[in-house]
Amino acid sequence: MFEFIGNVFRFLAKCLINIIKFVLLLIVIIMAWDFLKEDKQEWIGFVYPDKNNLWNDKNIGTFDSLEACRNEARSALYQMNATYSGDYECALNCDTSRGKPYVCEETKR
């Protein structure tokens, strides 16, 4: 009887150790995936010739950095003679698949 209980205990201990090994392996894989995946930043720029009418916007393109987006937006507003009457925003990693309004990680001026 004691031998049977000892065998069951050893079996359960081996199962528990294998489960712990599997969980640790999953954690390592997830951490490696997160570390190795590309940290892509895609900024979309929008300018508003009239800052009081945000329905009227112009997409000025996509950029690799927030600073590049800001520079192009300021330049576009200057070219429209809307430096003071207009506004702009730069949006990060937007989902454009469903059309407007876009869902973005964040927006900045």
Condensed to tens digits (0 to 9), the pLDDT of residues 10-54 reads 888 888 888 888 888 888 887 777 776 667 899 999 999 999 998
What are the beta bridge partners of residue 44?
Answer: 62, 91
- pLDDT tens digits, residue range 46-103? 999 999 998 999 999 999 999 999 999 999 999 999 999 999 999 999 999 998 889 9
pLDDT at 2 over 80: no
Task: Find tokens 């640790």 and name the residue.
Answer: 24
Q: What does the pLDDT read at residue 74?
A: 97
Alpha-carbon span 47 to 50, nearest angstrom: 9
The dihedral of CA 71, 48, 89, 93: what is its sign? negative
Token representation of residue 96: 């454009």
- Spatial separation of the C-alpha atoms in residues 98 and 101, rounded to whole Å: 8
**61's tokens:** 């393109």
Global pTM?
0.63
Angle at 39 between CA 106 and CA 43, to 5 degrees: 40
